[in-house]
Amino acid sequence: TSPRGLAPPADPHPTLFATAAASDPGIAFAPLRLWPTAIARNETSPLAQLKALGYGDAILAARDARAAGFDEALFSNTRQALACAGTGNVFALFGERLVTPPLTDGVLAGIVRAVVIAQLAPACGLACEERSITLSELRRADAVFVTNSLRLIAPVTAIGDSGGGDTGYARDHCLLMRLMAALRDRVAAECGVSTNDVSIGAT
């Protein structure tokens, strides 16, 4: 047991809990509508780059996004720079240049994020840049998508009310589709299944 107060024990013995559940195959590559939340991501916190139990902000932001008719919350940090979606990393396409916020902006280092930056983007002929980006700049992108290990690459079809419905961003942008196909092929190869078993274009 720990002593009273916030100091951790000198010789901790943590307990690991794990659960398993079947994933919904329809979630992979399915489009998303993002709702910018007023809740700020604290980029100065060491916990911003850890998957920890403190999900209160994300839960409240997700509730507000659903109440507004959207799928996911979109976080900026305390400096008004874009950080992430509630459960994923954000990328924006500007021509043949791919931009995503750096980890120092309060971003969790996602697995699919790393694969896109290091492997898929170069293979698809895209220059990838990690730099700060504002919400207004994001809204001017040619295409926007969110990545995580379940959604893989999720095309963003609207950000707040800027999209005017599901036509605000190019869900079928040619470079975005190329990235999605490359990730589909990689997942299929690593899982030893046919690419037909990893579908693109779920609704």
Q: Which residues contact 157 (CB under 8 A, 6 or more apart)?
A: 31, 32, 33, 163, 166, 167, 168, 169, 171
177, 5 contact by CB (below 8 A) = no
pLDDT interval class at 177 (50, 70, 90):
very high
99, 133 contact by CB (below 8 A) = yes
Give me the domains of the chain, ranges plus CATH numbers.
25-197 (3.20.10.10)
Pairing mode, if any, of strands 143-148 and 89-94? antiparallel
pLDDT tens track for 69-119: 999 999 999 999 999 999 999 999 999 999 999 999 999 999 999 999 999
pLDDT tens track for 10-62: 888 888 888 888 878 789 999 999 999 999 998 998 878 777 767 889 899 99
| pLDDT of 165 higher than 80 | no
The pLDDT value given to residue 201: 57
The pLDDT value given to residue 152: 95
pLDDT tens track for 127-160: 999 999 999 999 999 999 999 999 999 999 999 9
Structure tokens at 176: 């975005």
Closest to 176 measured CA to CA, from 147, 135, 138: 147
